[in-house]
């Protein structure tokens, strides 16, 4: 199986936290990112709508010749993985299973899960974690204001801290030992979140966990494809359904480096 052109899908900017980890762990692959910035947020939408948008965007990525799709968005992973698997003939990897496994591996016996309204409502993390580890206690909490705070760039701000305290203090008193960040944006709030949860709670990031799982699946075959020119510079291409300067500015903070090949596409959904 060759995996040298990886599609990464997110509702907008947040999947760049997953892409950042993938770029670090999988040095040879081309990465084609699609952010559905015209329709973000997905986290407030119904399952039906999230599935509809995700299928449309995934088909676009397939038309760009990807040989694997990473659904970097937790909300899209929560709702659309079965529909994608039923329709697409390439490996589809979401973030739920890898995040759940990482939380269990961290030794979590009382796991807190935070995510968007739509992800938490789906109860996908409870179902996945309980299937893997039936005795684990789970407490899930939607933190809808975290997404706009991150998009505002207020990663370490007093307003963010007040909001985080409001969402998380009862999780802290409930005595969880592990907190799973079940949304692409939340890794950028790790500092504030750790401060509130205290040093004894392990923070597990589904972006990191997913990239590690993909790297384990596909390395080293990338270097071995006969059609791959040795030492060819890889392509990193960004497609967005709405391209703004704000995306580029904030995206570079998420990604940790410059975005050069960036294009707007109209999917006419
Ligand atoms: N990417 C989404 C997620 O991980 C967060 C942003 C949104 O609501 O679309 O759930």
What CATH number should be reported for the domain holding residue 22?
Answer: 3.40.50.1860
Known catalytic residues? 73, 183
Residue 207 CB less than 6 A away from ligand 1:
no
CB 68 within 8 A of CB 43: no
For residue 226, give both structure tokens.
């006969």
For 54-93, give one letter per residue: b (16+ CB within 10 A) or e.
bbbbbebbbeeebbbbbbbbbbbbbbbbebbeeebebbbb
Out of 40, 57, 206, 240, mutate this one to test ligand 1's pocket (max ligand atoms within 8 Å of CB): namely 40
Q: Distance, CA 31 to ligand 1 centroid (Å)?
A: 20
113 plus 34 within the same structural domain: no
Q: Distance, CA 34 to ligand 1 centroid (Å)?
A: 13
Quick one: pLDDT at residue 230?
46
Quick one: pLDDT at residue 115?
97
The CA distance from 114 to 105, in Å, is 18
103 plus 197 within the same structural domain: yes
For residue 54, give both structure tokens.
């995700």
87 plus 218 within the same structural domain: yes
Out of 49, 50, 184, 208, mutate this one to test ligand 1's pocket (max ligand atoms within 8 Å of CB): namely 184
The CA distance from 145 to 116, in Å, is 9
143 plus 234 within the same structural domain: no
Quick one: pLDDT at residue 232?
62
pLDDT tens-place values along the chain, 269 residues long: 454 899 999 999 999 989 999 999 988 899 999 999 999 999 999 999 999 999 999 999 999 999 999 999 999 999 999 999 999 999 999 999 999 999 999 988 999 999 999 999 999 999 999 999 999 999 999 999 999 999 888 999 999 999 999 999 989 888 899 999 999 999 999 999 999 999 999 999 888 899 999 998 886 554 454 444 445 678 999 999 999 998 998 898 888 888 999 999 998 76
13 plus 82 within the same structural domain: yes
Q: Do β-strands 30-35 and 5-10 pair in parallel, antiparallel, or remain unpaired?
A: parallel
CB 18 within 8 A of CB 118: no
Please name the residue whose Cα sits nearest to atom 7 of ligand 1. Answer: 41
3-state secondary structure of 158: helix
Asked, for residue 269, whether it belongs to a domain, the answer is no
Distances (CA, A) of 160 to 75, 157, 192, 256: 22, 5, 8, 21
For residue 220, give both structure tokens.
């080293």
Residue 98 CB less than 6 A away from ligand 1:
no
Out of 75, 146, 148, 186, mutate this one to test ligand 1's pocket (max ligand atoms within 8 Å of CB): namely 75
35 plus 51 within the same structural domain: yes
Q: Residue 86 sits in which domain range?
A: 5-94+209-264
140 plus 201 within the same structural domain: yes
Domain termination site, one of 184, 207, 230: 207
Domain termination site, one of 158, 176, 207: 207
Q: Distance, CA 228 to ligand 1 centroid (Å)?
A: 34
């Amino acid at each position: 199986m060759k995996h040298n052109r990886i599609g990464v899908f997110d509702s907008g900017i947040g999947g760049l936290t997953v892409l950042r980890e993938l770029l670090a762990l999988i040095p040879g692959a081309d990465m084609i990112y699609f952010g559905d910035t015209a329709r973000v947020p997905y986290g407030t939408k119904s399952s039906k709508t999230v599935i509809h948008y995700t299928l449309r965007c995934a088909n676009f990525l397939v038309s760009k010749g990807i040989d694997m799709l990473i659904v970097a968005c937790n909300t899209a992973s929560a709702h659309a993985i079965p529909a994608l698997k039923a329709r697409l003939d390439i490996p589809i990897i979401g973030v739920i299973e890898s995040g759940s496994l990482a939380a269990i591996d961290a030794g979590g016996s009382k796991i807190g899960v935070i995510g968007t309204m739509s992800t938490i409502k789906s109860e996908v993390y409870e179902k996945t974690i309980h299937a893997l580890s039936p005795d684990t206690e789970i407490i899930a909490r939607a933190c809808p204001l975290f997404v706009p705070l991150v998009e505002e760039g207020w990663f370490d701000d007093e307003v963010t801290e007040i909001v985080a305290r409001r969402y998380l203090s009862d999780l802290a008193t409930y005595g969880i030992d592990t907190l799973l960040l079940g949304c692409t944006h939340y890794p950028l709030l790790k500092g504030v979140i750790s401060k509130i949860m205290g040093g004894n709670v392990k923070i597990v990031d589904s972006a990191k966990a997913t990239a590690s799982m993909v790297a384990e699946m596909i390395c080293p075959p990338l270097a071995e494809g006969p059609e791959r020119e040795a030492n060819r510079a890889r392509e990193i291409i960004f497609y967005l359904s709405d391209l703004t300067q704000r995306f580029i500015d904030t995206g570079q903070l998420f990604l940790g480096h410059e975005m050069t090949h960036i294009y707007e596409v109209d999917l006419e959904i």
